[in-house]
């Protein structure tokens, strides 16, 4: 039985690792934190989800601060799609009340596997000279981003309704499981809506924080957010993510993703197994 100090150190260290690899691979630390807390430390999944959600707000906002300055974030796409994600988050948080804990574990494990798979497989960079989609044009969603040559590279996007629907799903998952759903968001942005990678990553990042905030209020009311538990998670993930961002330039992202994906895969299997046993 560990005391508060020991818990803080262990969880803080684990969260820092999660945040470090999460930011290096772009897979997010939140998804790693919940299995760590529930499987290794025997924490009730509700407390784990609460702590995870809070840490996601911290890392997303921290990273967004850097991205916005660089000019990669498309604010219009972000705000428009956030209508879908925030409403989805409310719906997901509402659903979480109706679903029993064991089922939550199974759903979490499944979503984790799918997210890891999505992040690992090869994505093709969207073509830049798409013909102008009518709705996207009316919504002023086309933009530019600073290319490596220092010139503003324009891009056009498409399939807005599909993107909107996917974001609703991403938001629901976020509200239900306390995760960032970054993988789904990025998928919707660059594969469906043809947003260039760098823009989709930073725009998704902004959206993750806003989405998490939508269900966080409800989580606090239900007592999912335990301050003693959430504190080392928040601080640990923040520090880890910060260090990860610094090291980013020297990292072999693909290799790390594969490694991270493998670990996450086994954690997911265990979560599903545990949930199944408890049903």
Partner 1 sequence: MVGKHCEPMKIVKKVSEKKAEEIMSNVLRWGIFITSAIVLMGSIIFLYHQGFEIPDYGHFVGHETPFNNLRGIFSEALAFNGLGIIQLGLLLLICVPIFRVAVSIYTFAMQRDGTYVAVSFIVLVVLVYSLVSSNV
Residues that bind partner 1 (CB under 8 A): 1-5, 7-8, 37, 41-44, 46-47, 54, 57-58, 60-62, 64-66, 68-69, 71, 75-76, 79-80, 82-83, 86-87, 89-90, 93, 101, 139-140, 206, 209-210, 212-218, 220-232, 234-235, 238
**Shortest CB 235 distance to partner 1, Å:** 6
Give the shortest CB-219-to-partner 1 separation in angstroms. Answer: 8
Residue 24 or 218 having the CB closest to partner 1? 218
- What gap in Å lies between CA 86 and CA 138, rounded to an integer? 23
Residue linked to tokens 């609460």:
50
Compute the least distance from the CB of residue 46 to partner 1, in Å: 5
Considering the complex, state which of residue 68 and residue 103 has its C-beta at the smaller distance from partner 1.
68
> Is residue 34 a contact partner of residue 178, using CB atoms and an 8 Å limit?
yes
Q: Please check whether residue 73 is in contact with residue 203, taking contact to mean a CB–CB distance below 8 angstroms.
A: yes
At its nearest, how many Å lie between partner 1 and the CB of residue 2? 7
Identity of the residue, 220 or 243, whose beta carbon is nearer to partner 1 in the bound complex: 220
Nearer to partner 1, 166 or 218 (CB): 218
Query: Can you tell me the distance from the alpha carbon of 128 to that of 209, in angstroms, rounded to the nearest whole number?
Result: 27
Q: What are phi and psi of 195, to 5 degrees?
A: -85, 135
d(CA 52, CA 42): 15
Look at the chain and count its residues.
Answer: 279
């Amino acid at each position: 039985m560990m005391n508060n100090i020991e818990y803080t150190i262990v969880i803080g260290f684990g969260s820092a690792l999660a945040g470090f690899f999460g930011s290096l691979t772009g897979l997010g630390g939140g998804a790693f934190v919940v299995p760590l807390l529930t499987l290794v430390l025997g924490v009730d999944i509700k407390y784990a989800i609460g702590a995870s959600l809070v840490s996601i707000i911290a890392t997303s906002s921290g990273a967004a601060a850097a991205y916005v300055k660089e000019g990669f974030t498309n604010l219009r796409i972000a705000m428009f799609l956030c209508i879908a994600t925030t409403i989805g988050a409310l719906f997901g948080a509402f659903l979480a009340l109706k679903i029993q804990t064991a089922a939550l574990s199974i759903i979490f494990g499944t979503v984790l596997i799918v997210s890891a798979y999505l992040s690992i497989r090869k994505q093709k960079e969207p073509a830049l000279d798409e013909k102008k989609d009518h709705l996207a044009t009316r919504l002023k969603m086309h933009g530019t981003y600073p290319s490596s040559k220092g010139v503003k590279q324009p891009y056009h996007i498409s399939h807005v309704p599909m993107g909107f629907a996917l974001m609703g799903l991403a938001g629901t998952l976020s509200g239900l499981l306390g995760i960032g759903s970054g993988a789904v968001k990025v998928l919707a942005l660059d594969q469906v809506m043809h947003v260039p990678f760098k823009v989709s990553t930073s725009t998704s990042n902004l959206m993750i924080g806003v989405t998490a905030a939508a269900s966080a209020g409800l989580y606090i009311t239900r007592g999912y957010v335990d301050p003693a538990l959430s504190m080392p998670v928040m601080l640990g993930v923040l520090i880890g993510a910060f260090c990860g961002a610094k090291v980013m330039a020297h990292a072999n992202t693909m290799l790390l993703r594969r490694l991270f994906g493998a670990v996450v895969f086994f954690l997911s299997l265990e979560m599903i197994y545990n949930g199944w046993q408890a049903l």
